[in-house]
Amino acid sequence: MIKQAIIPLAGQGTRLLPLSSVFAKELLPINGKPGIEYIIDECIDAGIKKIIFIISKKKKIIKDYFYNDKFYLRVIKKKKDPRIIKEYKKILKYKKMIKFVYQNKPLGTGHAVLKTQKYIKDKYFLMLLPDDLIIKHNCSKSIIKIHKKYKSSVMASMNVNKKNVSRWGIYKLEKKIDKNNFFINAVIEKPSIKQTPSNKAVIGRYILPKEIFSILQKQKPGIGGEIHITDAIQSLIKQNKKFIAHNFKGKYLDCGTMHGYIKSSMEISKL
């Protein structure tokens, strides 16, 4: 059973400047609700019981958002507004599920994952990248199902335009399982058009095995000088660990870029 999820939130958000210069991009509203709440709701709906947020000192505002009980209580005491009471209860529920750990240096997603090592109890855990919103279908739920069926690690994936491959982790297909699921035999972080093994991109939903921690401990920085989760996955594949790429249903919204962020509110408002 997958009961724990981790969410790296210490990224600097340079693609969303100036919106992210003094504010955490994950708290920016998407159709009136902070982006991170969509991600938490996806976890809850997928049966996740505990979520680890990896933040940095600079992103402490994220913790403040979930630890604002006293403020809510003061407001509610003066004004018994049912909407505020409902929001307060929701925040309390989230707070109970979340544990905060710190990654104070922006050394990459792999480095962020390593910070959660001592808290991961089961053999596998879920990781969600908060820039990637997937609407109309719970992608975490789907990859948990695939994991149960094949006892394998899983990553969400979608086909992208070949001219954009250097924005993504790109994988090479080994064997087709069915229309939407593939065993993969290589993955490379942000390849050039020349290097790319395909146009199949990794999207930010992963079921990862605990073994990834020992790989990450030894891993050298990759492209851009960061420790990438993609490179650790590639090492696991080399050790013959099975990884499935799952082409998810639902609509992908890239909230980490300005264009995608603006588009996401419009798309969600249509739901």
2, 111, 144, 189: which one binds ligand G1P (CB under 6 A): 189
User: Under 8 Å CB-to-CB from 194, ≥6 apart: which residues?
Assistant: none
* Residue 231 touches ligand G1P, criterion: CB under 6 A: no
Residue 134: beta bridge partners?
A: 252
The residue whose Cβ lies closest to ligand G1P is 169
13, 35, 130, 169: which one binds ligand G1P (CB under 6 A): 169
- Cβ 83 to ligand G1P, closest distance in Å? 33
The position carrying tokens 């947020």 is 53
The position carrying tokens 């001219």 is 163
* Residue 20 touches ligand G1P, criterion: CB under 6 A: no
CA pseudo-torsion sign 184, 185, 187, 191? negative
* Residue 228 touches ligand G1P, criterion: CB under 6 A: yes
* Residue 188 touches ligand G1P, criterion: CB under 6 A: no
Distance (Å, whole) CA 218 – CA 215:
6
What is residue 53's DSSP assignment? Answer: E
* Residue 153 touches ligand G1P, criterion: CB under 6 A: no
Burial of 156 (0-12, 13-18, 19+ CB in 10 A): buried
* Residue 171 touches ligand G1P, criterion: CB under 6 A: no
In the stretch 101-130, what mask flags binding to ligand G1P with x, by CB under 6 A?
--------x-------------------x-
The position carrying tokens 């954009």 is 164
* Residue 260 touches ligand G1P, criterion: CB under 6 A: no
User: What is the gyration radius of the CA atoms in the chain, in angstroms?
Assistant: 19
Query: Which residues contribute to the site for ligand G1P (CB under 6 A)?
Result: 109, 129, 131-132, 168-169, 189, 201-204, 228, 230, 256
